[in-house]
Chain A
Amino acid sequence: MKRILFLSLLCSPLLAADPVEADFYKITTFATPKETAMEVGSIDLMPDGKLALGTRRGEIWIISGAGSNDASNVSYKLFASGLHEVLGIAYNPKDKNLYATTRYEITRLKDTDNDGRADVFENVNDSWGVSGDYHEYAIGSRFDQAGDLWVTLCLTGSFSSAVPFRGWAVRIKPDGTMVPTCSGIRSPGGIGFDADGEAYYCDNQGPWHGSCTLQHLVPGSFQGHPGGNIWYDLAPNMGPRPIDPLPEAFQGGKGRKNKREGGDPDRMVTERERIKQLVPPAVYLVHGKIGNSASAIICDLSAGKFGPFSKQLFVADQSHSNLSRVYLETVNGIKQGVVIPFRSGFASGIIGGRMDEEGRVFVGGSDRGWGARGGKPFCFEKCEWTGKTPFELHEMHAKPDGFEVTFTQPIDPASAGDVKSYSMREFTYAYREEYGGDEVSEVLPKITAAKVAADGKSVRLTISPLTKGHIHELHLDGVRSAEKLPLLHKVGYYTLNEIPAK
């Protein structure tokens, strides 16, 4: 017996199971009121540690105690009901009211008699159209630094826009006026801001989208799906209507499995040169690998309380019931970056999410309509850092001849400095009208050098060739930490919209 114990102690660094996500980030599932299906569609923070939850069933719940270490301390109060699908909830610290983004309206909710239930429902703005089609979801943000609400408006179905501003992102100013802000939206799943206050949304695989994407909402830009561009006449502030991308799907009516002579003609990287308003996706959330149904965008502003990923973005997925992590940088004025798996195993499809100042990530959602891996029809959950730092790819920076990769912990110079510890694959998606698409135009580059930095926390990879516009899928299977541990997640997908000059 003693001998066995001794042996196992001796061998533990080698024999111990590899670390798992739950060692570093734990998920707590809250019980929800029996009288409702808490299909969370949106979450915002309120004063005194309270949360506001908007649901797909049109309810708004105010939650207390969700930050407590004891999940049984959570309590729920129904603030409002009967709204048309609350996929955006925003607390306004100026007037202390909640604002709900619903199917066809931003509603300001007031509790004038202070009984904990809303009694005044004011239309803040209802300028966009609604045709009755199920697909026309309206997904709203919390308030940005200017006091605006952003709303992304799903198209009528996948291809077209039956009523004004379907397929657009709009801003609602504090005075209630609407400013058309970006065209080219297809099927948004979530909207959020980075640490600098820049707005992003997630679009979903479909026409003009080979994969789900994280996209930078640059005011005045065209985000890629031309279906809603018929409304430029109603948006003089946006300037002239962009020229249409090439409707590749009409060229011969071939199915996407059919081979085309000379390959697929249309690429985001070439269409960007023709269509000046077109902003490429900041990050492709690679279909089937990162997720299938991208939703909430959560920025870590907790200054370390959520672990080592300060200011990075976390993107949720309804179908995969997971969170992925995104590090972004700006090259030649364009946002781009890497997405890395982060945490799977949420109970249902995640739709809404928000991090509080203490670094607690509150998420919730439902599997309704598309199915979700989590298995439960709906959920409200919390994801927290356990205090242990995982060995992870931390940041990935594009360089003229490769990438610089940083890590959350010191690396083992021998393995990290060996080019055989890495492999890379480059690919893209056709930018075309047809639904979805394969990973195409594969390039298998050579990794010619892997140079570990003097501080032992980063490595400089030299790669030949880099392909502008391609997703660069980096595998780091052989890299070990100084403690000889493998990476918790051994892959990152970098979308190389621009190759830096230096």
Chain B
Amino acid sequence: MTRLLFAAFLAAASARAVEPAVFSVKTMTAQMKYDTAELLVQPGQPVKITFENGDDLPHNLVFCQPGTDTAAMALKQMEKPEEALKRNWLPDDPRIWAHSKMLNPHEKEVVSFSAPGKAGSYPYVCTFPGHALTMRGVLKVAVMGDTLHDLQFALYLGNWQKLPDFSKLKPHREGKIDDNLIQVKLDDYKNEFGVVFTGKLIAPKKGSYRFFLSSDDGARILIDGKEVVAYDGIHPAGDIKEQGLTLEEGEHAFRLEYFQGGGNIELYAAWKGADFQITPLSKWLHPNWQGGTKKQKEFDPIPLVVKDEAVIYRNFIQGAGNRGIGVGYPGGVNIAWSAESMNLALIWRGAFMDASRHWNSRGGGHEKPLGYDVLQPTGEVTPAFFVTDKPEAEWPKWDKAKRYEGFHWLGYSLDAKRSPTFRYTWQGAEIEESFTVEGNGNMAEGHAKLIRTLKVAGKLPANAWYRVGSGAFESKDGMFISKGPLSYRITVSDAQLAGQNLVIPAKTGTMTITYQWAQ
């Protein structure tokens, strides 16, 4: 939920689409009012409103340009009521830019649109005769501020009543947060831990800024090493604490310390400047925060905890197609393997998977890895093996409606530690693939490595290649270093760079490929 549009341009590495603002607007029974008087969105933000008519009369929801006299507009229809009736009481007026149908009592409609690009107050109204005077509200379009950059976390284990001096403690796990939003959903620990978030905050100009904080249990925010606002101790996230200060233009060190005793886990942080509205820095939003972009309810996490055995999770994993097999290895390194392309699809560090999306309701959608530093060494759901006399050629791309020809999925067996060996055939050759982990993926400095071992038996076709990476690589000291936004290294014998492909001539026997995150 990156709430600021310009931050997405600023930080290309963390750029992603603005998530839709999701609202529910109801008509109140026999009161001639909507239950929502104000909606707050960002310029251009996708908006999805579930409009429900709980009243005993027909109502609609009509959005107009700023300054429209909505009551006069609705009333004007009475000059030609027969025409208006044919239009189901939707005024023929160019100032209307989005609207629902005229809903009968107890009907529902989802209205979707992109918010206007220009900041301002856009009135909404029911245009059924006589309703517009009281059944109205305002869609406010306002710019939001920047969010954090280079957000990192360090997780500590301990049982505290107040925030400890984290500088004297050794972290249990460290990493970065890809979406740069403060969140405590990173791990499989539910009680007795603390997290220190550090990142950069860019003040657009010299001026006064205000910081907001709420948490369950204690937390405090420090800017450039100085405490700005604190809410320490064991408590629910009842109040929002706030405090102002003056910042110079430019980059500031941001630090948020948090600890969890037991029970609920909640953490809300936000800031506000002279030129932008309250802008959350956290994923979770306090129910009383003054913004209007309410998130749809998410499910309580169901993290799949990896202890001393590998854990397998076959389900829809984002980036691993529809036949993905997730494996969480002890040591904080995880993979998703595809039984569609018979290839390694993803590698990531830290926690394994959150099953809550699939184990709640009807279980739809693809879930992303729960950990961080997600690598996709080759494209989504592309095979590693390919026959070509031009290894720089483009590798086959996934056609969701088709299966890759020549591949046959055989299954997997588990060793004593439940680590799988995947088996498949390609063009008659039998291939076995297994993985081991070195180092500690739970720590940024843990030198975590994934070692991939491939055993090929049988005859391979001529000009068969095996691709271990794609994108831009730099060859250095026998390693191939990815020049992508997330740097990592591949170590493998006999590899060569061919255009965007890092390939090995495929042959019978054993191959070892090592993937390692750059520190």
Contact = CB atoms under 8 A, between A and B. Distances in A.
Contact of A107 (B366, B411, B413): B411
Interface string B389-429: 00000000000110100000111111000000000000000
A84 B314 contact: yes
B413 A121 contact: yes
A56 B302 CA distance: 15
Interface string A106-139: 0110001000001111110010011111110000
Interface residues of B, number: 30
Interface stretch (B41-49, B70-78, B91-99, B356-364): B356-364
A350 B185 CA distance: 33
Contacts of B103: none
A333 interface: no
B360 A368 contact: yes
Interface string A121-159: 111001001111111000000000000000000000000
- Mostly helix, strand, loop or mixed at chain B's interface? loop
Interface stretch (B22-30, B315-323, B502-510): B315-323
Contacts of A123: 339, 409-411
Contact of A369 (B339, B362, B412): B362
A37 B358 CA distance: 13
B262 interface: no
B182 interface: no
B400 to A, nearest CB: 6
B365 interface: yes
Given A102-B314, A132-B322, A162-B401, A37 B411 contact: no
B267 interface: no
A82 interface: yes
A350 B412 CA distance: 32
A348 B106 CA distance: 29
B453 to A, nearest CB: 19
Nearest to A163: B401
B312 A120 contact: no
A57 interface: yes
Given A131-B322, A132-B366, A82 B361 contact: no
B321 to A, nearest CB: 8
A81 interface: yes
A119 B312 CA distance: 12
A423 B99 CA distance: 51
Contacts of B375: none
A120 B365 CA distance: 28
A135 B355 CA distance: 18
B313 A82 contact: yes
A83 B314 contact: yes
A104 interface: yes
Interface string A315-341: 000000000000000000000000000
A162 B365 CA distance: 16
Nearest to A164: B401
B411 A57 contact: no
Contacts of A83: 314
Nearest to B324: A84
A126 B362 contact: no
B362 A134 contact: yes
A436 interface: no
Contacts of B456: none
B322 A130 contact: yes
B312 A132 contact: no
B400 A163 contact: yes
A36 B364 CA distance: 20
B323 A133 contact: no
B311 interface: yes
B420 to A, nearest CB: 8
Nearest to A81: B312
Given A104-B323, A368-B362, A369-B362, A122 B411 contact: yes
B314 A82 contact: yes
A353 interface: no
Nearest to A134: B364
A207 interface: no
A116 to B, nearest CB: 13
A413 interface: no
Find the residue from A82, A104, A133 having the highest chain B CB count within 10 A: A82
Contact of A129 (B361, B362, B366, B401): B401
Nearest to B424: A123
B129 to A, nearest CB: 25
Interface string A40-61: 0000000000000000111000
Nearest to A58: B314
A123 B362 CA distance: 25
Contact of A131 (B312, B400, B414): B400
A104 B412 contact: no
Contacts of B361: 368-369
Contacts of B339: 104-105, 123, 126
Interface string B323-336: 10110000000000
Nearest to A104: B323
Nearest to A109: B411
A382 B82 CA distance: 64
Interface in A66-116: 81-85, 102-105, 107-108, 112
A84 B409 contact: no
Nearest to B422: A121
Contact of B410 (A57, A81, A85, A122): A122
Contacts of B412: 120-121
Interface in A442-468: none
Nearest to A119: B414
A426 B250 CA distance: 79
Contacts of A118: 414
Contacts of A37: 359
Contacts of A108: 411
A84 B315 contact: yes
Contacts of A57: 355, 359
A83 B326 CA distance: 10
Given A104-B323, A133-B364, A134-B364, A126 B409 contact: yes
A56 B359 CA distance: 8
A37 B366 CA distance: 21
Contacts of B413: 112, 119-121
Contacts of A122: 410-411
Contacts of B409: 105, 123, 126
B466 to A, nearest CB: 22
A131 B311 CA distance: 25
Contacts of A135: 362
A85 B314 CA distance: 9
A123 B315 CA distance: 16
A58 B311 CA distance: 12
A103 B317 CA distance: 14
A82 B312 contact: yes
A57 B321 CA distance: 19
Nearest to B415: A119
B78 to A, nearest CB: 29
Contacts of B362: 134-135, 368-370
Contacts of B364: 133-134
Nearest to B327: A82
A122 B423 CA distance: 9
A130 B326 CA distance: 17
11 contacts: A84-B315, A105-B323, A107-B411, A120-B412, A126-B323, A126-B339, A134-B364, A134-B365, A135-B362, A368-B359, A369-B363
8 closest A-B pairs by CB: A134-B364, A82-B312, A369-B362, A122-B411, A84-B314, A132-B322, A123-B411, A120-B413
Given A58-B315, A85-B363, A368-B363, 8 more contacts: A56-B363, A120-B413, A129-B401, A131-B400, A132-B400, A163-B400, A369-B361, A369-B363
